[in-house]
Amino acid sequence: MSQTSFKKIAEEKIQPKDFSFDRDNMLLAKKILKIYPKNFKESSIMPLLSIAQNQNNGWLPKKAIEYVSDFLEIPEIKVLEIATFYSMYNLSPVGKFHVEVCTTSPCMLRGSDEILSFCEKKLAIQEGGISKDKMFSLSRVECLGACVNAPIIKINKNYYEDLDLNSTDKLINNLLNDKKIKIGSQSGRKGSEPRKSSYDKKR
């Protein structure tokens, strides 16, 4: 698997000229900094990066990386290392809804490949791409850690589980029409409770 385009540093022309935490985020960042010992400031690098990403519509510009490195007084490369290592950080713009389809073994066995290609068709974008209206971006990710409810899609902060093609279609339509959508399992089961099995009938 090669790197998706969201892991590549965005082109110069779309990079913002400046970045700094707004007031709320600054307070939050200072609060996070307090958790760690003074001489291990760099331990707070991951929460700070996600604050920065949230503030900047889901992606990290160069200026944000430099800002965080200044904030923690560590070399920029140390921040870039973290930002490129984890798939949760994006280094180029993503859509308003960033759709991440899990394709690791359990999800794959439950049909995640079909869901991915369905999403590509439905949203008319390639994996790693962003739609023209900047509403959707699509990416293939490794295990999201909810295998019991496979297959899973992560959209922004939430998981949508137990998907099939119908429920995926419904999910995307609801997003497009700005309708309320249910977070979690789409098949009606509660959490990851067992499916009704032959064992239940016998009892």
Of 17, 39, 121, 202, the one binding other proteins by CB under 8 A:
39
Query: What residues contact 40, with CB distance under 8 A and at least 6 apart?
Result: none
Could you say whether residue 63 binds other proteins (CB under 8 A)?
Answer: no
Least distance to other proteins, CB of residue 69, Å: 8
- 18 lies in the binding site for other proteins (CB under 8 A): no
The residues with which 184 forms a beta bridge, in sequence order, are: 160
Least Cα distance to 103 among 127, 132, 73, 86 occurs for 127
Q: How far is the CB of 31 from other proteins (least distance, A)?
A: 24
Q: Is 198 one of the binding residues for other proteins (CB under 8 A)?
A: no
**Nearest distance from residue 94's CB to other proteins, in Å?**
18
Rounded least distance, CB 87 to other proteins, Å: 9
Cβ 50 to other proteins shortest distance, Å: 18
Residue number, 27 or 85, with CB nearest to other proteins: 85
**Per rule CB under 8 A, is residue 127 in the interface with other proteins?**
no
Residue of 84, 159, 170, 192 that binds other proteins (CB under 8 A): 84
Q: Which range of residues in 52-60, 71-79, 96-104, 132-140 is near other proteins by CB under 8 A?
A: 71-79
Residue 35, interface with other proteins (CB under 8 A)? no
Residues at the contact surface with other proteins, assessed by CB under 8 A: 2-3, 7, 9, 39, 62, 75-78, 80-81, 84-85
